[in-house]
Every structure is written in C-alpha cells, then in structure tokens.
Homo-oligomer: A and B are copies of this chain.
Amino acid sequence: MAPPQGKKKSQGRRKIEMKLIEDENARTVTFSKRRAGLFKKATELSVLCGTQIALIIFSLGGRAYSFGHPDVESIIGRFFNKNPTATVPESSSSSRYRTAMLQEMKEQFDGKSQELETKKKRGKEIEAALESSSFHTTDEELDGLDFEQLRQLRGKLVKMRDEMRRLANANAYAVANVPPMPVPMLNLAQVAKSRGASMIPSDWLKL
C-alpha cells in the first residue's frame, strides 16, 4: 500500500532477439500472449476490411488453435481450388471440406468437455465474435461461452449439419478418409453436463 519511493516496480517491456526462446517457461508464456495477439489482429483485419482470413496455430503441446472468417474450411478450399470469386463452391471438394470441418468441430467439443470443468469462464468479447460469422476455437474463447452463446453456436451447427446433409445427398461422392455418411453428432450434451448444466432444454441437446 505504501508508495515504494522511487523504486520502479518493473523495467517495462524490453527488446528481445528474434530467435527461438530457449527458456521453456518464457517460451510458453510468450506463445500464449502472442497467440492471443495474433488472433486479435486477424479478427480486426477481417472486420475492418471484410476480408477472408484463415489462421491455424499448433502449440508445442500439439493443440490446434484456429480462426477463420467466414470459416477455416472455406478459406482453405478457396486457396487450393484457386477460385477467387466463389464464396463457397458447392462442389464435391466443398462437401469434403465441410465434412472434415464438422468432424473437427465435433472433436474439439468432445475434447473441451473434459477440460471445461477445471477452468473458470471469462467470456467478454465473445458475443461480438459470435455475432460475426467467424469461428473461434481457442481454449479461452470456448471457455468464455455462456449458455445463451452456446445456444447460438448450436444454432449455427444445426444449420451446417443440415446444409451438409443436403450436399451429401445431392452428390454422394466417395472421398478418401472421410465417409460421406453418417453425419457426426455434436456432443453438446457432454459439454453442457460438464458445466453443471441443468436448466438446458433437454430437447435441443440433440442435434
């Protein structure tokens, strides 16, 4: 409480060499901070300029963090298909990516459900993030979701699921590694349960 005289509390930010940070601890901290900063910058760019952006980061621990506007899948599809003008090409390729993305999200949700109970929630800017059509899948952001937001996210997933089914029926291609059917079920029930949820309408837990 007492003012520590002229004693500076910190030397403030210092310049660092642009090379691998040796100290494993410092490296982890820097990774977390800069990863957050990078996602923020990417989000801002997509908002300010309305451009399509995809960002994927793998942590040292092997965890994947991603951001996509409007979503990672369509950006990647566009990148490899070299289709500069199409929003989302309704091709077999598109449906393949769509399927892969849905599976991705399912697994992320399943994985999250096991970790959620040991983390506190923070969600502040999540609302805005959800309002745009972007998808954030970082730990922090999923942690910040409250039930209302979770409900909104569920709505989006349902739409995607339906859209995917429509595509799968329209053109049933046999794609390597990704069987066209059945449609993966999102385990929102588990997620909700891990939060100690009890006021969730039981019917909308089933997609």
Contact = CB atoms under 8 A, between A and B. Distances in A.
Interface of A: 16, 18-21, 27, 30-31, 34-35, 37-38, 41-42, 44-45, 47-60, 62-64, 66, 72, 75-76, 78-82, 84-85, 92-93, 97, 100, 104, 107, 128, 173, 175-177
Contacts of A34: 41, 44-45, 48-49
Contacts of A53: 55-58
Interface pairs A-B: 5 shortest CB-CB? A62-B84, A52-B58, A31-B49, A54-B56, A34-B45
A14 B62 CA distance: 39
Contact of A84 (B30, B58, B75, B93): B58
12 contacts: A31-B45, A31-B48, A34-B44, A37-B41, A38-B45, A54-B56, A55-B56, A58-B84, A62-B84, A79-B104, A80-B104, A82-B107
Contacts of A85: 62
Contact of A78 (B44, B58, B79, B176): B58
A55 B58 CA distance: 12
Contacts of A51: 31, 57-60
Contacts of A16: 48
Contacts of A175: 176
A26 to B, nearest CB: 10
B60 A50 contact: yes
Given A53-B58, A56-B79, 12 more contacts: A18-B48, A20-B47, A20-B48, A20-B49, A20-B50, A49-B60, A54-B54, A56-B76, A58-B84, A63-B84, A80-B100, A82-B104
Of A35, A57, A177, chain B has the most CB atoms within 10 Å of the CB of: A57
B41 A38 contact: yes
A78 B56 CA distance: 10
